Amino acid sequence: MMNLTFRPAVAADVRRLSKLVDMAYAPVVRRLYGDSPRGRWVHYEEEKVLQYLDREGEGVRVGEWQGHTLTFCVCRAYGHFGWFHSLAVHPDYQRRGLGRQAVADAEAYLWRQGVQRIHLMTWPEATQNLGFYQALGYAAAGISLFAYRRTDSPLPDAPPQMTAHTFARLDARAQDAALAAIDALGQDVGAGAAYAPWVAWTQRQQQGDTLLVWRQERLLGMALTYWRRQANWLEGKALLISPAATAAEQAGVLEAARAWAAAKGRGSLGFPIDLMDARAMALLHRYGFRLFGDSMITLARGADAAPHGIHLVRFGG
């Protein structure tokens, strides 16, 4: 058996890691989706790997054997909540147990960070992937899509007394206080989700920004979004709304996000959503969000943690 040695990636690895992901994924998406838009693999850019190294360098994992880089995986730990993505095995060395070793290394890293439940996503059509992860103890936990709404009309029902502002506009002291409030909101909503590092990294890297919505001194909701060049929509990566929020205040958080997207000149606003999350589905449907069918299967392993309030996140990059 080929026993890999694992370590965190470094900048010198970036070019070959980008190439490794391309070699591993391009034939898979072609086989799954043929000559359709989803079947045309988009190059895994070196800049993306560098960003992951900046965000959580120890979690960017490389598997080596006799000096050759054979596996790659990106882990993300946010308190008790974590996931891994972009797992790649060199095509010439697949079906030799290297994927299992890479998963075990990713899990060991995440458990060491205090994660209690590990998530991942894969394509619904990738039945081999589903079987692979189920054999490792993962169970289907949801079906992830995006829900979109146009920004040209306000939501009804939003209370006028709520305060909204972005994380980037705060000074350093206020940002520290906001990060503490974000982690407190994550504790309330996501059974220990601590997204403050993600928020800080997004702003530092100028990937996007986070909208914070308050009722007096209490943070009721946050919408972490990325800016996409030449895109007409605001891409929500995570949406959290406190379980203490009333129905009108839930609408207020969504309205603040809509108004922000409109002010940024974006024609629509989107958030990830799990088809199995009835509470979130009902909320977004009520206010005119429509589903986009780029679906992924979510799998999970570890302590079960049903969300309280609204907790929408995409378990990818």
Residue 244 lies in a domain: yes
Residue 289 lies in a domain: yes
Residue 133 lies in a domain: no
Token pair, residue 115, equals: 């994660």
Residues 108 and 151 in one domain: no
Residues 42 and 108 in one domain: yes
- Position 149 scores a pLDDT of 96
Q: How far is CA 12 from CA 8, 49, 84, 234, 286, in A?
A: 11, 11, 22, 33, 49
- Position 162 scores a pLDDT of 86
Q: How far apart are the first and last CA of the chain?
A: 31
Position 64 pLDDT exceeds 80: yes
pLDDT tens-digit readout, 14-28? 999 999 999 999 999
Residues 52 and 152 in one domain: no
Residues 163 and 62 in one domain: no
Residues 79 and 225 in one domain: no
Residues 110 and 181 in one domain: no
Task: Give me the residues paired with residue 74 across strands.
Answer: 60, 85
Residues 109 and 170 in one domain: no
Residue 262 lies in a domain: yes
**pLDDT, mean of residues 144-165:** 90
Residue 187 lies in a domain: yes
pTM of the model: 0.92
Provide the domain limits for residue 26: 5-115
Residue 99: which CATH number? 3.40.630.30
Residue 142 lies in a domain: no
Alpha-carbon distance of 120 to 134, in angstroms, equals 12
Residue 118 is inside which H or E element, if any?
A: strand 117-122
Residues 171 and 279 in one domain: yes
pLDDT tens-digit readout, 90-146? 999 999 999 999 999 999 999 999 999 999 999 999 999 999 999 999 999 999 999
Domain count, the chain: 2
- Position 199 scores a pLDDT of 95
